[in-house]
Amino acid sequence: MSGLKNAVIEVTRELNVRRNVYPKLVFAGKLSQDEADRRMQSMHYALWYLTNTGPEQKFTLPNGGE
């Protein structure tokens, strides 16, 4: 299995874990709803990026790295 396919599987798994855990953390007051939403949005973006960026495209990190 390719590294990219493994990454997609892992990000999908993590999203499913967070869908189950975050509501409990928010209810317990250990995580704000805004922070939970921000983290979920970031993971959804990561999944989108992994599934929609071809090898010919280059991603540059905000700090200038790749």
pLDDT digits (tens, 9 = 90+) for 12-55: 999 999 999 999 999 999 999 999 999 999 999 999 998 887 65
Backbone angles phi, psi at 49, to 5 degrees: -60, -45
Residue 16 in any domain: the answer is yes
> How much is the pLDDT for 46?
92
Residue 63 in any domain: the answer is no
> How much is the pLDDT for 55?
59
- What is this structure's pTM? 0.75
Residue 46 in any domain: the answer is yes
Residue 8 in any domain: the answer is yes
d(CA 10, CA 4) in angstroms, rounded, equals: 10
- Looking at the structure of the chain, the number of domains it has is 1
pLDDT of 66 higher than 50: no
Parent domain of 13:
3-51
Residue 42 in any domain: the answer is yes
Residue 39: closest CA among 58, 55, 26, 54: 26
Residue 36 in any domain: the answer is yes
Residue 25 in any domain: the answer is yes
> How much is the pLDDT for 65?
46
The dihedral through the CA atoms of 21, 22, 28, 30 has a sign that is positive
Joined together, the tokens standing for residue 1 give 């299995």
